[in-house]
Structure 1
Amino acid sequence: METSTTLLSASTITNDDVVNLKQEKLGKLQDIMLDITQGKIRYAVLTSGGFLGMGDRLFAIPWSALKLDTANKRFVLDVGVERLKNAPGFNKDQWPNMADPTWSAAVDSYYVR
């Protein structure tokens, strides 16, 4: 029986690349947001668009929207570069209230189809 990677530490995947289905680089995973009441990962925080950490935009990506590419040690997100540029994002100094149901619904509907 073949086994797959089902348990990874957050530090193992932090800074992993995120690409789209066209293999275009979208950014890197910066952080993981845990829903401690349900005991699961809720969002991966993607950093994108800056240079050497300056001017980056952050995006909360629903964990369910990401697919692990174990062969290349990265994640795949089914979204085009332009769609990501127009996604609801935030900067590193002004994080949204990710527990807000209205905010969560808007973000989830943007990525999960």
Structure 2
Amino acid sequence: MNYVEQDNYGMYAVSDSNGPGPRLMGADTLMGNDVFNRQDEDLGDIKEIMLDVAAGRISYAVLSFGGLLGMGEKLFAVPWEALTLDTDNKRFILDVAKDRLESAPGFDKDNWPNMSDQNWAKDVHTYYGTTPPEVVIL
């Protein structure tokens, strides 16, 4: 399901943005969206969106890949900056080959990493070619 199909309140009927899609979107309207790569291969779908509450920004989208009916799926924390919204096809684009994603650092639903660990974050950002944001200390 995509943000247009989940638009219960008509908030996306009028776009006031010069970019792809609305400038502001509800997080739950993005969960479940498909993720494809530039070769048009299906990489999975968004299961969760992780917020850096102290900094007031989105840090990661948790991507589910592989498995069947939720069994054997692997989860990946993908830096938000690595994703592009494809409004024409109502999905996200992640510029990563499918075989590279298969070997990406991931986790299972019962063993999530400490996403606030700066060493973990650095490794994930390095893998996807993005720059970690500055850390906000409360």
| Cα distance in structure 2, aligned partners of 1:25 and 1:6 | 25
Partner of 2:8: none
For the 8 Å contact 1:64–1:112, the answer to whether it is kept is no
User: Please, which runs of 5 or more residues in structure 2 have no aligned partner?
Assistant: 1-15, 131-138
- 2:65 is aligned, of 33, 40, 48, to 48
Q: Which runs of 5+ in 1 are unaligned?
A: none
1:15 equivalent in structure 2:
32
Deviations 1:32-56 (A, max 9, x none): 0000111000000000011111111
Whole-Å Cα distance in 1 between the matches of residues 30 and 90 of structure 2? 8
User: What's the Cα RMSD here?
Assistant: 1.0
Residue identity over aligned pairs, in percent, reads 53
Provide runs of 4+ in structure 1 moved above 6 Å.
none
- Alpha-carbon distance between aligned partners in 2 of 1:52 and 1:68, rounded to the nearest angstrom: 25
Between the aligned partners of 1:65 and 1:23, the Cα distance in structure 2 is: 16
Residues 1:86 and 2:103 aligned together = yes
> What's 2:13 paired with?
none
What is the TM-score normalised by the length of structure 2? 0.79
Of Structure 1 and Structure 2, the greater strand share is in 1
Count of aligned positions: 112
Structure number with the higher helix fraction is 1
> In the alignment, does 2:45 pair up with 1:34?
no
Distance 2:66 2:119 in 1: 26
For normalisation by structure 1, the TM-score amounts to 0.96
